[in-house]
Structure 1
Amino acid sequence: MTESLTIRRPDDWHLHLRDGAMLEGVLPWTARHFARAIVMPNLVPPVVTGAEAAAYRERILAALPDGMTFEPLMTLYLTEDTDPEDVAAAAESGLVKAVKLYPAGATTNSASGVRDFDKVRPVLERMAEIGLPLCVHGEVTRREIDIFDREAVFIDEVLDPIRRATPGLRVVMEHITTAEAAAYAAEGDETLAATITVQHLMLDRNDMLVGGMRPHLYCLPILKRGTHRPKLVEAATGGSPRFFLGTDSAPHPTHAKEAECCAAGCFTAPVALSCLAEIFDEADALDRLEAFTSLNGPAFYGVPVNEERITLTRGAPIDIPAKIETGAGPVSVFNPGRPVHWRVT
């Protein structure tokens, strides 16, 4: 049995850092393990222009504790008023690495997202010209569509038509949750990739709902039926370059998670790598963990892999903190409800 594993320092290709006191509180938990991260732009107000992305990047770097190294990879929030040339200029400068598509109302702080996809076609066409990836929150938001079916419907009604209408557009299907999404990504060409989260690899909707509602496991896209999880594990551990890690670590104050209408998101940053090693160990695929966490993402985004290494060690179950303290209030840490034996040493 493998007891120790050394890999290149990972990157997180989908991360929420928020702003202000929350940013200051959660950033160190990502920076201690991850070298870089694609930072989500769904602040209030959202990060729409290159100038706003530059200002947000400066706030992130200012919040980074002394002695820690971390590179925020910035994104822009796609709206129906986004200027294609501003996007192109921000990408050419090296500041922006992707544009994020939120269907309006799909998740936290997505009210400014896209309702009419025809209105963003000029932006998508410009992105295809310059090779800038589109990161997609893949859910439709029509009320008549069951929440557990929204990802599959999005692929058929929105994503596939967008890709057919915009040849060459590079697309990341973020936080995929279904067998249908895993199959669609696997069958794609080199312009298509998908990220997978820790919670969707470890849990299904029974973990969230049976015996009582567990609000700290509530996220969007929501945890799905148990038949989907093995397909996600297969995609993550199978060695395909189409799949890589995007934790979607999403901090909310504990009181917002434990409210009558609770906020969506799991704060996984402190335990993400430990949980992933557990998953890959169970799948007898530890030799493929480095590709999923450290190699496939840089290859798709066209950035160098990290030279620094980290080591994970297997031993007694780790102690998962119940909460971390931030200036915006305590934040509850994701707990899968079962022993996790790997730790970063």
Structure 2
Amino acid sequence: MTRRPFPSLKVEQWPEHDRRLWQKAHLASGPFDDDGLAARWRPATLRGCERGYGVWLRWLEDAGQLDPALHPCDRISRKRIKAFLDSYRVGRAESTVAGTMRDIAYVLRACAPPDGVDWLTKLAHRMVNTARPSRPKLPRMARVKDIIDLSDSLMNEGLEKLRNGKRSGAPLYRDGLIIGLLISRPWRRCNLADLRLGRSVFVDDLGARVSIPKEETKKGVAFHGYIPKRLEPALFTYLDMVRPVLLKGAADNDGWLWIGSRGRRLPANDISIRVTRTTRKHFGRDLSPHLFRDCAATEVALEDPAHIGITKAILGHATLTSSQKFYNQATSFTAFSRYRDVIRRFRDEG
């Protein structure tokens, strides 16, 4: 079915009332006042919400229903939301539609704290929790052991190249270490890219410590812990031998842990590209950094379902709600594996 274009009104095109409330919502206040509800949202979250809410405003405008004098919450009704969904969901994945609904609900909450339009927020959360992804995750996932083996293999190969005077071993080693960290400490890619020596990465008598404040995490859950002992020697080798090669004599004033081309910081998007390309090469399928989180949590559900609750801490979730989907996913993963074995046996017998 053909997808209808849905342009988004930019913030500067929003009605003045909406724009003023939104600007107030993401401003920090003084010591005696509360911050705006969106004051500590990450820039990417703000941009996403603005895009989704802009889609809603543009739909209202095209339908002749955008009254700029009304409060944003007063434009919401169940009838209008149903009409919007009937039009917007045509040709779009469930996850895309759910995400846009969540963006709209979050902007309204920020403009009318603390609840916004309560029934709309509940509807958006229900849609997000039940939406089917446009690309199924299970066929792209890998077992943790295979990922660890790939990490070790890349680091060994990279180290061997460096010992033979080949600088190409440095990015190979770095990528292997990133993959090892991603599966051992499945942080979101932005938190991984933001690691800085002396700021969030510290070396003390107990090892290499990482400290990520709650203000910098998506769910507002801080991380304070150590790099796994298994990876400590690899990290120290990276710091002492590999990272200086990547810097190529560039000034190391900012202390970014991951160094990319021309001695500069390796941004989150570049990390995603390199990890995805590497896993595609070795596994035959794309394994994005975010999918590492699914792999880790699903492994827990497969191997130790009685302790599925630990995924809350592993993934930095604020609640256990998200953990249940990994248990369900593990059940599907087992069925998928068994089906694959049946197919293999069938082909062998034929």
Q: TM-score, normalised by structure 1?
A: 0.24
For the pair shown, which has the larger CA radius of gyration, 1 or 2? 2
Relative to its length, the structure with more strand (as a share) is 1
Q: Report 1 or 2 for greater relative contact order, CA contacts < 8 Å, sequence distance ≥ 6.
A: 1
Relative to its length, the structure with more helix (as a share) is 2
